[in-house]
């Protein structure tokens, strides 16, 4: 699969197959991670090639894929002037799903819950975005560098949330710069380098090959 932006090849003959509940896309800056995730999330179209996730073709079955998937991008999608509770209400109404915001706030330990989202720390915003992404119980969660910019404590809390979700059967695809994070969350890894696949396979094997 390929993807170019004008003359720049962001993804160059990318091809891999992994069978896992949680997959990490590992790579340095500009490796092509976000581009690949945005293609998986059906936001961007590849220039060519075929991709299927959980048996669904991203071009042919994109409607079905969108129904079972949630995407947490690198930048915030929260409405900054609304509180955490109001953001949860807003996005659940858009998705036509009835939820109890206070239950979600409690489950994800989001605080403060009633002040504008702009007052939340980066870690709390990430938790809130993941909580919102999980409204409607998607089978597949795609996250673009969810722990970037978080302190150690917030990172660990988020990793715990994500591993818990994986253990409960949610499929997870995430991008990261961190081998440590890969070890804690992912069953399989795809390593990208300058738009190409350098390695892919089980986490243990890939991390061993990288050392």
Positions in the binding site for ligand ATP (CB under 6 A):
5, 8, 10, 27, 29-35
Residue closer to ligand ATP by CB (options 28, 94) is 28
Report the nearest approach of ligand ATP to the CB of residue 8 (Å).
5
Report the nearest approach of ligand ATP to the CB of residue 104 (Å).
28
Torsion angle of the four alpha carbons 142, 40, 63, 8, in this order, in degrees rounded to the nearest 10 = 130
Calculate the CA 136 to chain-centre distance. Answer: 16
Interior CA angle at 33 toward 20 and 47, to 5°? 100
Q: Where are the alpha helices (DSSP H) in 17-144?
A: 33-40, 62-68, 84-94, 101-107, 122-133
Residue closer to ligand ATP by CB (options 29, 168) is 29
Q: Which of 114, 88, 110, 115 is nearest to 100 (CA)?
A: 88
Report the nearest approach of ligand ATP to the CB of residue 102 (Å).
35
Q: Which residues pair with 199 in a beta bridge?
A: 191
Report the nearest approach of ligand ATP to the CB of residue 198 (Å).
12
| Six token digits for residue 46 | 């590849």
Residue closer to ligand ATP by CB (options 32, 101) is 32
Report the nearest approach of ligand ATP to the CB of residue 205 (Å).
22
Residue closer to ligand ATP by CB (options 32, 201) is 32
Residue closer to ligand ATP by CB (options 33, 127) is 33
| Six token digits for residue 188 | 């399989």
């Amino acid at each position: 699969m390929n993807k170019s932006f004008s003359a720049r090849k962001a993804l160059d003959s990318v091809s891999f197959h992994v069978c896992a509940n949680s997959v990490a896309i590992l790579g340095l800056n500009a490796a092509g991670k976000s581009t690949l995730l945005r293609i998986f999330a059906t936001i961007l179209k590849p220039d060519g090639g075929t991709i299927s996730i959980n048996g669904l073709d991203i071009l042919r079955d994109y409607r079905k894929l969108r129904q079972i998937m949630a995407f947490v991008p690198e930048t915030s999608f929260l409405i900054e002037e609304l509180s955490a509770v109001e953001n949860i209400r807003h996005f659940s109404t858009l998705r036509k799903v009835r939820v109890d915001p206070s239950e979600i706030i409690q489950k994800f330990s989001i605080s403060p819950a009633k002040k504008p989202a702009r007052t939340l720390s980066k870690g709390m915003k990430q938790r809130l975005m993941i909580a919102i992404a999980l409204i409607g119980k998607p089978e597949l969660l795609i996250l673009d560098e969810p722990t970037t910019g978080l302190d150690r404590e917030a990172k660990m809390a988020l990793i715990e949330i994500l591993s818990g979700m994986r253990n409960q059967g949610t499929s997870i695809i995430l991008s990261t710069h961190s081998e440590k994070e890969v070890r804690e969350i992912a069953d399989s890894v795809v390593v990208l380098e300058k738009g190409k696949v350098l390695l892919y396979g089980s986490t243990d094997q890939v991390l061993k090959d990288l050392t």
